[in-house]
Amino acid sequence: MGKKATKITEGRTKEDRKKVRKNLGTLKSLTVQPQTKARYQQGLDRFFSYLRREGLTLPKRRDDLDGLVGDYLEHLWSEGEGRATANNFLAALQDFDPKLKGHLQISWRLMKTWTTNEIPNRAPPLTESILKAMVGWAIFHQHFSFALSLLVGFYTLMRTGELLQLQAWNIHMSSSSQPAVISLGLTKSGKRQGAAESVTLTEKSVLKILWVWKQQASPHSF
């Protein structure tokens, strides 16, 4: 079951804001999400393990780090690592030391070359016929919430994380024939813009099923 997104409400007084921000944490801790921070740490750990294994040490000057980082990227490339591993590492390095920005020109050039030359291995998009097969399987096995989630997610193009956090009170409907407005709160892109987001569901067949479910579900049902 997904974790409910935190709704941030600024207080009207200085003391109210102080309490809210104390629970949120420092600005520095909020610059990167915990999951991203964990990926960054993993990328740095692998880099330092590589240095120890090769008998290398970090240079004292930032300008001298670019060549070493470039060699590490070449190592990742030759070992068949995915592009995300390299991207996370470079992002982690600049998050660890923001003053490195502008000092890793060779490394970012290699990263761009990697992006250009890596053979894409993307999953094909889900077709409507496959969706119906999956929904039929779910209903046959009495996984009704899963079936409804598939339908809502498909026709609103929601991310998996957004779908798992969705509760009945987030869905606003006036009838089974009118579009449903689904509040997503602060999504991945919404956090960058500092504004809550929402999507609209207009698929008539899904609206009818969603309306029936919403009449029976409690406000906090996922």
Residue 4: what pLDDT? 46
Residue 69: what pLDDT? 95
* Interatomic CA distance for residues 178 and 207, integer angstroms: 8
Structure tokens at 152: 């809502």
Q: How many CB atoms lie within 10 A of CB 93?
A: 19
- In the chain the beta strands, taken as DSSP E runs, fall at 171-172, 180-185, 197-201
* Interatomic CA distance for residues 176 and 116, integer angstroms: 48
Residue with tokens 């339908």: 151
Residue 193: what pLDDT? 63
Average pLDDT of adjacent 10-residue blocks, the chain of 222 residues: 48 82 82 86 94 92 92 95 92 91 93 87 85 96 95 93 91 94 77 76 95 94 92
* Secondary structure letter of residue 183 according to DSSP: E
* Interatomic CA distance for residues 123 and 127, integer angstroms: 12
Residue 185: what pLDDT? 80
